[in-house]
């Protein structure tokens, strides 16, 4: 059994109470990646409102704390969906189009791509703020500043994906996220800070497709 399950059973129970209230299925996928059926790339976790499923990849390549971060993040997407349907629905459309555009299933105009990214950032920023609040309120053993910077690095990497038209990984490397601002300090009018952009140029990469 992965240490995440034994170490954080109380956190899992708390999220399960919420998921039951919302009729959401929580699924642990014992694999390096979990993915929604027609998705090209898997991820370490997702929450999907259509199928009402919160799924987390659990594998020895992740530490218990890394899985906990993903679990908290995705649980906050569930909180958004159950608590703020307007924001969820508005931003989700942007997300769907952007992902389809990345996979070259649709074409979008530059201003539409930008609008999608702004919607994604709005949704992820709200999610990460909820996550940071949950970490503090539940007294979770995660470094608040590190988590906040990792989140900001991930959110801002969407600008780069928009530029390269590719799904990109690497925003969670310490060399990269250490140059990111705290989540509350992201300035959407200014885009990616210069030092972080240098790290994006050096470290972000397009993953190979893993079919699992
Ligand atoms: Zn997210």
Q: Separation of 110 CA from ligand 1 center, angstroms?
A: 23
Residue 97 contacts by C-beta under 8 Å, 6 or more apart in sequence?
A: 106, 108, 112, 116
| Axis-axis angle for helices 85-102, 64-83 (nearest 10) | 120
Q: Taking the domains of the chain in order of start, what are their residue ranges?
A: 1-64, 84-212
Q: What backbone phi and psi angles, to 5 degrees, belong to 48? A: -120, 125
Q: Separation of 66 CA from ligand 1 center, angstroms?
A: 14
45-48 and 25-29 strand pairing: unpaired
Q: Are 204 and 170 in contact (CB under 8 A)?
A: yes
Write the burial class of residue 56 (CB in 10 Å: 0-12 exposed, 13-18 middle, 19+ buried). Answer: buried
Q: What backbone phi and psi angles, to 5 degrees, belong to 73? A: -60, -50
Binned average pLDDT, 10 residues per bin, the chain of 212 residues:
93 97 94 75 84 94 93 96 90 89 94 91 90 93 90 93 93 95 86 95 85 47
**What confidence score (pLDDT) does residue 189 get?**
82
Q: Separation of 151 CA from ligand 1 center, angstroms?
A: 9
Q: Separation of 43 CA from ligand 1 center, angstroms?
A: 11
**What confidence score (pLDDT) does residue 95 get?**
86
**This prediction's pTM:** 0.86
Q: Separation of 56 CA from ligand 1 center, angstroms?
A: 12
Q: How far apart are CA 20 and CA 107, in angstroms?
A: 38
Ligand 1 ion: Cβ-proximal residues, 5 Å cutoff: 124
């Amino acid at each position: 059994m992965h240490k995440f399950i034994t170490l954080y059973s109380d956190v899992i129970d708390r999220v399960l109470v919420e998921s039951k209230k919302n009729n959401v299925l929580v699924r642990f996928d014992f694999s390096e990646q979990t993915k929604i059926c027609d998705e090209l790339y898997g991820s370490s976790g997702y929450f999907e409102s259509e199928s009402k499923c919160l799924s987390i990849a659990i594998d020895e390549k992740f530490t218990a704390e890394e899985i906990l971060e993903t679990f908290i993040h995705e649980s906050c997407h569930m909180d958004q969906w159950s608590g703020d349907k307007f924001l969820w629905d508005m931003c989700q459309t942007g997300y769907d189009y952007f992902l389809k555009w990345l996979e070259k299933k649709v074409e979008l105009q530059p201003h539409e791509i930008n609008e999608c990214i702004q919607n994604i950032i709005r949704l992820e920023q709200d999610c990460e703020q909820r996550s940071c609040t949950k970490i503090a309120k539940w007294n979770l053993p995660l470094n608040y500043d590190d988590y906040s910077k990792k989140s900001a690095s991930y959110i801002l990497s969407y600008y780069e994906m928009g530029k390269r038209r590719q799904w990109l990984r690497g925003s969670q490397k310490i060399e990269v996220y250490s140059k990111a601002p705290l989540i509350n300090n992201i300035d959407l009018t200014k885009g990616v800070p210069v030092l972080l952009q240098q790290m994006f140029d050096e470290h972000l990469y397009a993953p190979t497709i893993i079919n699992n």
